[in-house]
Structure 1
């Protein structure tokens, strides 16, 4: 039994060394994330040179299973990259409703602002993601927040011609 445990740990170490936590997050490699977590559970909150965390990279790359894994390990859901963007902001830019809902339902701050004062609602409104805008509003997103250029989510929707979102934000 002793030898089996050593072999298993050694195998995890080889897997973990061959792929970084950031690559594993981008690719949704749960086995590697698990191996890295077993070696050092702090690695799941690691930050790369751009401030990206494994959660930010998993959400941005639509890796729902990796997002679920990371959330179950209690990573910092509101961590910011070097621009102040969060995982929720990234997914609102990309438009993956399933992952946006996961983040919101697990406590992501729907009104957190980046360093340009933009919010997840501003991103979802700008890029035309009606389902995400609707859910953000249901969960308390503040449509009156103004970004550093003086624009609200409504103004961003208008500038992009997102008529359905504009109508939703006017109420």
Structure 2
């Protein structure tokens, strides 16, 4: 399934497997989920320092865990948040920047899912934090879209481009504002995100926050000089 594209109506459109379009509203989250995703980055656990093993031993352990040593299996492990397996793939010689048919790297997949430990391991292994998928999305854009605050903070620390745009001109800040991710909006602004950047339809983060009724986001953006 491909990432939704912003429309001026505030709805999202998903491209179906047979080319049809289905309109859905952005899902809301429970207060508990919001609190968990807004955990300060300072409280995020550091990446585990697993003992180094030989590539041969790493592959043997992967096999014992049910993983073949293939790019597809590596990407699947990252997408499912399997941190131990991801580290073993890396120790066995897998490049951290392999991508699937949609151009999604392991880092993009892990960031989209909010898997902080996997993100940390991939960054430590030298993954390209600004790699783009076929739709122009970066790991930071995906993390902001999903409201994964600890992952957003980790990517910012790794010097991810906070003003990168996807293929329809949306920045991480625009997506965060559109989806009501207040803490993410604050973090991106503090990291230098352009509060007045507009997408291909001329919509800014502030306009989309107003349109979708995200009052706290509107207040944060206005205080930062958005117009």
Find the aligned partners of 1:28 and 1:61 in 2 and give their Cα distance.
8
Unaligned runs of 5+ in 2: 1-53
The alignment yields a C-alpha RMSD, in angstroms, of 2.0
State the Cα distance separating 1:61 from its structure 2 match.
1.2
Residue deviations 1:45-103 (CA, integer Å, cap 9, x gap): 01101111100111111211101100111100011111001111111111111111111
State the Cα distance separating 1:105 from its structure 2 match.
1.2
Match of 1:154 among 203, 206, 212: 206
TM-score by length of structure 1 reads 0.89
State the Cα distance separating 1:10 from its structure 2 match.
5.2
Match of 1:21 among 58, 68, 74: 74
Alignment CA distance shift 1:7-1:107 (3 Å) = closer
Find the aligned partners of 2:156 and 2:200 in 1 and give their Cα distance.
24
Alignment CA distance shift 1:7-1:162 (3 Å) = closer
The alignment status of 1:165 with 2:214, answered yes or no, reads no
Question: Which is richer in helix?
Answer: 1
Find the aligned partners of 2:55 and 2:97 in 1 and give their Cα distance.
26
Find the aligned partners of 2:150 and 2:55 in 1 and give their Cα distance.
39
Find the aligned partners of 2:101 and 2:58 in 1 and give their Cα distance.
29
Maintained 8 Å contact 1:13/1:39: no
Maintained 8 Å contact 1:26/1:61: yes
The alignment status of 1:86 with 2:133, answered yes or no, reads no
The alignment status of 1:126 with 2:178, answered yes or no, reads yes
Find the aligned partners of 2:157 and 2:97 in 1 and give their Cα distance.
20
TM-score by length of structure 2 reads 0.68
Counterparts of 1:9-48 in structure 2, within 5 Å, are: 11-12=60-61, 14=63, 15=65, 16-17=67-68, 20-42=73-95, 44-48=96-100
Find the aligned partners of 1:96 and 1:6 in 2 and give their Cα distance.
32
Name the count of aligned residue pairs.
167
Structure 2 SS opposite 1:161: coil
State the Cα distance separating 1:6 from its structure 2 match.
9.1
Maintained 8 Å contact 2:62/2:85: no
Unaligned runs of 5+ in 1: none
Alignment CA distance shift 1:71-1:7 (3 Å) = closer
